[in-house]
């Protein structure tokens, strides 16, 4: 390794990390997904890291990194920067090892993640809007206090720890042809790819980023980590604007493809996981499933989609579920012009009821230049069973002579 080359992680490092994690991380379940298998045209399995300790894969890398500190380093305490999942992993590992921990979080970090981090005994400090701002604060704290910075992804021990999930995938699903991994800074993707490619180079490894926070595509095109100028995504767990040096090199060398997914796809994936798999995940944790929903036949099967985290604010969960229902065509917003006569609204609602749609909201508007004097504009928000049902509702209303606008 030259002075300018980042440290490289090997299969031996991942296997050694697995020994360190014995008794501290669980072997998470691998669940078959029949509904995903049906649309993908072959077997699809879910690697449920949302059921890992602290609710995400981050507990693996954090424990490996902190456990390998010297006694002198442990005495100084540790500091980390995280939107939440790495924070909990660091806080738990520090608690297990009897070390003081401070965590810098960006403003607006999910409340359950903050509370869980404090619950594991760490001190929480808010700084900046993005993870990079919190990371700058953590670095400053480390310089001022001597605390050891536990980077969320760009350290060999962290990458090796995350890579242990890749070893489990090969053991639990030896027939796997494709592994799909939600990706932010790239620690999990790098670790999994290193382990998988070393043992099964025939397996395709895919990284998935949110379109509004996708730093890897441009970085790979330019040959080095390139910072995003801005980010916008609900998937805070993968909202990382700059790949690390170690993770970038591993992704460049071992990962077959990086794809991006929309907010709508992540919402639909989260909704489907709740309804079909009975799995609670955060938007970032659903990114691999979102990739399969957007391109269901693009990946060789058997495929493994990793569910990387399940720490989601209940309020956000409700919003994302509603967003996912709208994206799946299960909410229908209509403006229907009806005659302004007694019984006119009742007749309209009767027609809607005959289609099996459920009325969620209703509003009248009589003052509108586009209306005749004897007309009323009725705004309806309906719940349907999906796009075919929505089309049936629209068709029936138009057949009955109503003027309908979506």
Q: Give the integer Cα–Cα distance in Å for 92 and 97.
A: 9
Q: Whole-prediction pTM value?
A: 0.85
CA distance 325 to 383: 9
The predicted structure's pLDDT at residue 338? 86
Q: Closest Cα partner for 267 from 307, 224, 320, 222?
A: 320
Predicted pLDDT of residue 235: 93
pLDDT of residue 156: 97
244: three-class secondary structure by DSSP: coil
- The pLDDT assigned to 4 comes to 61
Q: Around 240, how many Cα atoms within 13 Å sit in the side-chain half-sphere?
A: 30
**Contacts for 338-343 with beta carbons within 8 Å, 24 or more apart?**
338/375, 338/376, 338/378, 338/402, 339/374, 339/375, 339/376, 340/366, 340/373, 340/374, 340/375, 340/376, 341/374
Each residue's pLDDT, cut to its tens digit, for the chain (406 residues) gives 444 678 899 999 999 999 999 999 999 999 999 999 999 999 999 999 999 999 999 999 999 999 999 999 999 999 999 878 999 999 999 999 999 999 999 888 878 888 999 999 999 999 998 878 898 999 999 999 999 999 999 999 999 999 999 999 999 999 999 999 999 999 999 999 999 999 999 999 999 999 999 999 999 999 999 999 999 999 988 999 999 999 999 999 999 999 999 999 999 999 999 999 999 999 999 999 999 999 999 999 999 999 999 998 888 888 888 888 887 778 888 888 888 888 888 998 898 889 998 998 898 887 777 777 788 888 988 889 888 898 898 999 999 888 887 7
Query: In the sheet that 30-32 helps form, which strands lie side by side, from edge to edge?
Result: 30-32, 44-48, 303-307, 178-182, 204-210, 257-261
Helix (H, G, I), strand (E, B) or coil at 202: coil
Q: Which of 141, 155, 253, 153 is nearest to 205 (CA)?
A: 253
Cis peptide before 360 (omega within 30 of 0): no
Q: Where are any strands of DSSP class E within 98-168? A: 101-105, 123-126, 148-150
What is the helix (H) or strand (E) element at residue 181, kind and residue range? strand 178-182
Token pair for 157 = 């021990």
Task: Please report the domains of the chain, with CATH numbers, ordered by start residue.
Answer: 11-56+156-326 (3.40.50.1100), 58-150 (3.40.50.1100), 329-405 (3.30.70.260)
* Beta partners for residue 125, in sequence order: 104
């Amino acid at each position: 390794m030259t002075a300018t080359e980042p440290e490289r992680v090997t299969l031996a490092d991942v296997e050694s990390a697995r020994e360190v994690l014995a008794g501290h991380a669980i072997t998470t379940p691998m669940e078959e997904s029949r509904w995903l298998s049906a649309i993908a045209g072959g077997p699809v399995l879910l690697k449920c890291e949302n059921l890992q300790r602290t609710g995400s894969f981050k507990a693996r890398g954090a424990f490996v990194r902190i456990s390998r500190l010297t006694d002198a380093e442990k005495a100084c305490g540790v500091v980390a920067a995280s939107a939440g999942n790495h924070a909990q992993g660091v806080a738990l590992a520090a608690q297990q090892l009897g070390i003081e921990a401070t965590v810098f979080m960006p403003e607006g970090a999910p409340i359950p993640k903050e509370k869980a981090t404090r619950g594991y005994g760490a001190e929480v400090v808010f700084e900046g809007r993005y993870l990079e701002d919190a990371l700058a604060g953590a670095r400053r704290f480390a310089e001022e206090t001597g605390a050891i910075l536990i980077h969320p992804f760009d350290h060999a021990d962290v990458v090796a720890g995350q890579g242990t999930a890749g070893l489990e995938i090969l053991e639990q699903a030896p027939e796997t042809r494709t592994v799909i991994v939600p990706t932010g800074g790239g620690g999990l993707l790098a670790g999994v790819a290193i382990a998988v490619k070393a043992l099964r180079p025939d397996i395709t490894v895919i990284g998935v980023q949110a379109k509004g926070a996708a730093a890897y595509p441009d970085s790979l095109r330019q040959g080095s980590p390139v910072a995003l100028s801005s980010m916008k995504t609900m998937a805070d767990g993968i909202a990382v604007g700059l790949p690390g040096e170690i993770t970038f090199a591993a992704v460049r060398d071992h990962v077959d493809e990086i794809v991006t997914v929309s907010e709508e796809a992540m919402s639909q994936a989260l909704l489907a996981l709740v309804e079909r798999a009975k799995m609670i995940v955060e938007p970032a944790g659903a990114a691999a499933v979102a990739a399969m929903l957007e391109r269901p036949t693009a990946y060789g099967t058997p495929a493994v989609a990793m569910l990387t985290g399940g720490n989601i604010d209940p309020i956000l969960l409700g919003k994302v579920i509603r967003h996912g229902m709208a994206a799946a065509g299960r909410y229908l917003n209509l403006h229907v012009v009806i005659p302004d006569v007694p019984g006119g609204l009742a007749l309209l609602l009767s027609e809607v009821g005959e289609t099996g749609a459920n009325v969620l909201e209703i509003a009248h508007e009589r003052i509108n230049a586009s209306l005749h004097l004897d007309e009323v504009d009725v705004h309806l928000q309906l719940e349907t069973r999906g796009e075919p049902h929505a089309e049936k509702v629209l068709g029936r209303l138009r057949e009955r002579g109503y003027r309908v606008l979506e």
